[in-house]
């Protein structure tokens, strides 16, 4: 039995409108408390975002995004000593976040939303997660057109990786992300998850962010995916994570860290029993 233990990235959205936890952690004290919960549950990285990327979400100003995330990053690094990533499409927010203590830049746009993003990532030498992306939340559903989703996502990610390298980012700084849920319909998401080997061919670490997304809920309740609770989405996400442990993935980005670490431990125990 193949088994590759990924890093677990816990999601911390300090937004009023994220799709599953909007408004829950907008206050600094609530955000810090949740970061502590994620860390105790086994999160290796805490991913902090101040702008929702759910379908149809409106953009926020740089000032608003930075006011949300920077105090939280500073507090988590100072009080918990946790490894922090900044979930942003804005180069200036990324620069300030790294200065505040973040060591990873998680750009769901893969550097397409802000042409200065790769310059910022190259300067401090932070890890940068380059995701597949075709457009902002208000238009991405119209861009889900593929002949071979896995091959095309891999090809488009390679173009973004090449652009990052040309800007001075080192190969060792790069992690890639298939961008599940971004400009992909339900069937395309599942086909992409099933063919992560196409991304493996690029030779870079892979982050998978499937947690609580609509394509998972659509399997549970095809007629009413929006009505599927976070608890059911978390269970399904943990099952998917367990299955993906046979892939060489660098990390999984999840809301429910405890369910994910439990799933990883169960698979590890089975692997150890088979090898003993």
User: Which H or E run includes 30?
Assistant: helix 28-41
Contacts 24+ apart (CB under 8 A), 74-81: 74/100, 74/101, 75/28, 75/31, 75/32, 76/31, 76/32, 76/35, 76/46, 76/48, 76/101, 77/101, 77/102, 79/32, 80/32, 80/35, 80/36, 80/39
Closest CA to 180 of 147, 214, 148: 214
Among 213, 214, 232, 265, the one annotated catalytic: 213
Query: Nearest-CA neighbor of 207 among 42, 14, 44?
Result: 44
Query: Is 170 a residue of the active site?
Result: no
CB 86 within 8 A of CB 97: yes
The whole-angstrom separation of Cα 223 and Cα 38 is 32
Residue 271 bears catalytic tag = no
Nearest C-alpha neighbor of 193 from the set 257, 156, 237, 147: 237
Strands of the sheet with 251-254, listed across from one edge: 174-177, 127-131, 104-107, 84-87, 45-49, 7-13, 251-254, 207-208
Q: Which residues are catalytic?
A: 213, 253
């Amino acid at each position: 039995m193949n088994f590759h233990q990924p890093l677990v990235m816990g999601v911390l959205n300090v937004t009023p409108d994220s799709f599953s936890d909007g408004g829950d952690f907008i206050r600094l004290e609530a955000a810090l408390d949740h970061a502590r919960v994620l860390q105790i549950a086994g999160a290796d990285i805490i991913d902090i975002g101040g702008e929702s990327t759910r379908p149809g979400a409106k953009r926020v100003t740089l000032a608003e995004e930075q006011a949300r995330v920077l105090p939280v990053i500073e507090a988590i690094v100072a009080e918990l000593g946790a490894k922090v990533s900044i979930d942003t499409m804005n180069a200036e927010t990324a620069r300030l976040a790294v200065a505040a203590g973040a060591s990873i830049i998680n750009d769901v746009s893969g550097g397409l939303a802000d042409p200065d993003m790769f310059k910022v990532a190259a300067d401090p030498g932070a890890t940068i997660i380059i995701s597949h992306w075709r457009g902002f939340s208000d238009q991405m559903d119209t861009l889900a057109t593929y002949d071979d989703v896995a091959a095309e996502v891999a090809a488009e990610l390679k173009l973004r990786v090449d652009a990052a390298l040309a800007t001075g980012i080192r190969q060792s700084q790069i992690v890639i992300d298939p961008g599940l849920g971004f400009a992909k319909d339900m069937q395309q998401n599942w086909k992409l998850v099933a063919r992560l080997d196409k991304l493996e061919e690029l030779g870079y670490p892979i982050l998978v962010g499937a947690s609580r997304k609509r394509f998972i809920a659509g399997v549970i309740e095809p007629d009413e995916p929006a009505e599927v609770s976070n608890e059911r989405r978390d269970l399904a996400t943990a099952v998917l994570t367990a299955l993906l442990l046979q892939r060489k993935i660098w990390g999984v980005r999840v809301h429910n860290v405890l369910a994910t670490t439990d799933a990883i431990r169960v698979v590890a125990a089975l692997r150890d029993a088979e090898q003993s």
